[in-house]
Amino acid sequence: MSIVPRKRWAFGPGLVLAPLLLAFALVACGDSDDPTPTPTTAPTEEPLTVTDSDGVELQFEEAPTRIVSFSPAATEILFAIGAGDRVIAADEFSDFPAETADLPKVSYSEPDPENVLSFDPDLVIVATRQQESVEQLRGLGLVVFLNRAADSVDGVLENITLLGEVTGQSDEAEALVTSMQERIDAVESAIADVEAGPSVFYELSDSLFTVAPDTFIGSYLTLLKASNVAEGAESQFPQLTAEAVIEANPEVILLADGEFDGGRPEDVAARPGWDVIDAVASDRLYPVDPDIGNRPGPRIVEAIEEVAALLYPELFE
C-alpha cells in the first residue's frame, strides 16, 4: 500500500485546492497477429484520498489491513462495518464488541510510539485524546488518521461513512448509517407532537460534570426536545455546583455515572437540599449506560431510544 500524507491548503473560507489524482497502469501489447487491437495503456481505479480532522490528506492505493485503533468509538465502528478482523490492537477502553477482549491493548491516554510501531500497522486511528501524539507517530513513518470525536449525532453518522471509505467498506457503512437513521427517524416521528420536552440534567460524574448542547450527547438531548439545564455553559463539559442544579430544578436527571459510588438514584436523592428538585420528588432519576450513551459510535441510536422512552414513557409503552 502506498500512502502519501499531504496537508490540504486553504485559500480563504471554504476554498480548498484539491490535487487531481490520476493513476494509469501499463499493460503489455498483444500478439501482433491478433486482429483485435490491444490498447497500450489502460486507466485503473484512482487511489482513494481521505482527509482527517486536521485537514491532512491520506492517499490509499488499497484498503489498510493492519489497523491500530486508539478510539473506542472507531473500534466499534470498524467492527460494525465488517472491518473488525483488520484491527490488530486497540486502546484499553475498546471493550465492544466481545471480540475486542482478545486484542492487544495500547494506552489510550499515553500512546507509546515504539509499542505502536511493533505491531507493524498500515493505519493508526487516533482521536481527540491522542492528537498531541500525531506528529511523533508520523515521525516514525506510521500512517496516522486523526478522527476527532463527533460533536453531534450527524457527526457520528459522518464518521461511520468516513471509516467505511478508509477501509473499503463503504457499502456496509452506508447500510449501517441507513439503519441507524431509520431508527432515529422513528423516534422523532413518535415525539413529533411534543412541543417542549422536560428539563434534564445529564450527570457524567457525582462531581456534577455535565454536557452542554454543543456535544454529541447534548445533540441527542436536543433531538429529543429536552431542555438541557447546561444551556449557555462556557465549555462543552461544564462542572455545575449543587446550588446551580437545585436552582435549575430539572424534571429528569440522567445518571451516566450510576456504576460509581455517589451516582446511584438513592445516593442522588439523599444529597443535601436535592429533595426539592422535581426529578427527585417525582422519582425520575434514571441510570443510563455510559458505554452506549457517552460513546460516539454505532450504539448511540440505542441511547437515543432508551432516553426517549425515559423522557416520554407514555409514547414508548
Question: Would you give the DSSP letter of residue 107?
Answer: -
Residue pLDDT, tens place only, 101-121: 999 999 999 999 999 999 999
Strands (E), 93-143: 105-106, 123-126
Report how far residue 304's alpha carbon sits from residue 163's, in angstroms, rounded to the nearest whole number: 22
* Phi, then psi, of 15 in degrees rounded to 5: -105, 120
CB 219 within 8 A of CB 150: no
Does residue 93 register a pLDDT over 70?
yes
- For residue 97, whether the previous peptide bond is cis, meaning omega lies within 30 degrees of 0, is yes
pLDDT band at 263 (very low <50, low <70, confident <90, very high): confident
Note the Cα 299 to chain centre separation in Å: 10
CB 312 within 8 A of CB 193: no
Report how far residue 48's alpha carbon sits from residue 3's, in angstroms, rounded to the nearest whole number: 10
pLDDT band at 265 (very low <50, low <70, confident <90, very high): very high
Does residue 19 register a pLDDT over 60?
no
Q: Which is more confidently placed, 59 or 5?
A: 59
Q: Which domains does the chain have, with CATH numbers?
A: 6-171 (3.40.50.1980), 191-315 (3.40.50.1980)
Residue pLDDT, tens place only, 273-312: 999 999 999 999 999 998 899 999 999 999 999 999 999 9
- Give the model's pLDDT for residue 260: 62
- Give the model's pLDDT for residue 261: 58
- Give the model's pLDDT for residue 45: 58
Residue pLDDT, tens place only, 68-83: 999 999 999 999 999 9
Q: Which three cell numbers stand for residue 313?
A: 414513557
Give the length of the chain.
317
Identity of the amino acid at 46: E
First to last CA, the chain: 52
pTM assigned to the model? 0.81
CB 45 within 8 A of CB 23: yes
- Strand pairing report for 199-203 and 252-255: parallel
